[in-house]
Amino acid sequence: MTRALFGVLILLGAGCRGRAESTPRVVVGSKNFTESVILGELVAQQLERFGLEVTRKLDLGGTFVCHEAMIAGDLDVYVEYTGTAHGAILELATERDPAVVREEIAEAYRERWNLEWARPLGFENTFAMLVRRETAQRLGIATLSEAIPHASDLHPGFGYEFVERADGYHGLEEWYGIDFPDPPSVMDLGLTYRALAEGVVDIIAGNSTDGQIESLGLVPLRDDRHYFPPYEAAPVVRAEALEQHPGLAAALSALAGMISNEEMRRLNYLVDVEQRAPRTVVSAFLDRLSRAANGGR
């Protein structure tokens, strides 16, 4: 954890929270990729709508940078993924039952670091095996099981991490008994989408909520045998912050279950493909939620 803590000190600075302020602010963070920045902005605007003062520290870095910032007290809340907490941070054995994963991480976070998990936002960003829409329609496949008889017609292309990690390519082959005719083409993750769209490869491992899925005409094959662990998105918050800000728990609770996989994919698309500002996208989304809650008024 030393490397990650060093990154926190560089990015945040020791004692940079301004504790001398007369009115303490809730410090909201995020990781350094589009979806996490959107979710950080979502939490920040939600808290502001509940009357809380917020300081944003978005786009900080990777998982361990944000986690160490929480432990150090330099962040009060950020959105994490249950599978990432379970496997990467806590280094627990792979567990595919979402309820078990939530229970184990909630207990461990509370006991070790006095951190609490709020209820999930409603979607998960897990691996998604993607094919072109034309391929799915031609072969008549919608699930990974249905793709097995057609494996000889599919040339895979994967990012480096998916080929190497325990819950990646080799485990997938064994779990489903799927036998591709050739070893996968291995490339940077960002290149796999374009390679699939252009027909260089026929199946890739992407992210289930990526905005490029719709824009490139790709189709995620449903993981019907539940190979991939759950990666539900949920806010992690310091227990001390919950005590200091009475409205914080209610604000986070109001977001529970409000974002579907399709909605998160749409928000990512607006930012990544249409190049809209996360702040604008989030504001419009929360406005729509508010109107729905008030009967469309």
d(CA 227, CA 186): 21
Q: How many structural domains are present in the chain?
A: 2
Domain end among 187, 221, 255: 221
* Predicted pLDDT at 8: 44
Residue 131: Cβ within 10 Å count: 23
Q: In what order do the strands lie in the sheet with 77-81?
A: 54-61, 26-31, 77-81, 233-238, 115-117
β-pairing verdict for 218-221 and 77-81: unpaired
Domain boundaries, position 135: 127-221
Same structural domain, 32 and 62: yes
Same domain for 119 and 240, yes or no, is: yes
pLDDT computed for residue 165 by the predictor: 75
Q: DSSP labels for 265-296?
A: HHHHHHHHTS---HHHHHHHHHHHHHHHHTTT
Are residue 115 and residue 138 in the same domain, yes or no?
A: no
Say if residue 6 is in the same domain as residue 117. Answer: yes
Same domain, 10 and 115: yes
Tell me: do 78 and 174 sit in the same domain.
Answer: no
Q: Are residues 65 and 119 in the same domain?
A: yes
CATH of the domain at 183: 3.40.190.120
Tokens of 141: 């496949």
Do 159 and 217 sit in the same domain of this protein? yes
- Do 115 and 255 lie in a common domain? yes
Q: Are residues 85 and 171 in the same domain?
A: no
Q: Are residues 238 and 114 in the same domain?
A: yes
Q: Are 233 and 124 in contact (CB under 8 A)?
A: yes
User: Of 204, 221, 238, which one is at a domain's C-terminal end?
Assistant: 221
Last residue of a domain, one of 162, 197, 221: 221
Tell me the pLDDT of the chain (297 aa) as tens digits.
444 444 444 444 444 444 444 568 999 999 988 999 999 999 999 999 999 999 999 999 889 999 999 999 999 999 999 999 998 899 999 899 999 999 999 999 999 999 999 999 999 999 899 999 999 999 999 999 999 999 999 999 998 878 887 778 998 999 999 999 899 999 988 789 999 999 999 999 998 999 989 889 999 999 999 999 999 999 999 999 999 999 999 999 999 999 999 999 999 999 999 999 999 999 999 999 988 877 766
Question: Which neighbouring-strand residues pair with 116?
Answer: 237
CATH code of the domain covering residue 242: 3.40.190.10
Write down the pTM of the prediction: 0.81
User: What is the reported pLDDT for 16?
Assistant: 46
Same domain, 65 and 136: no
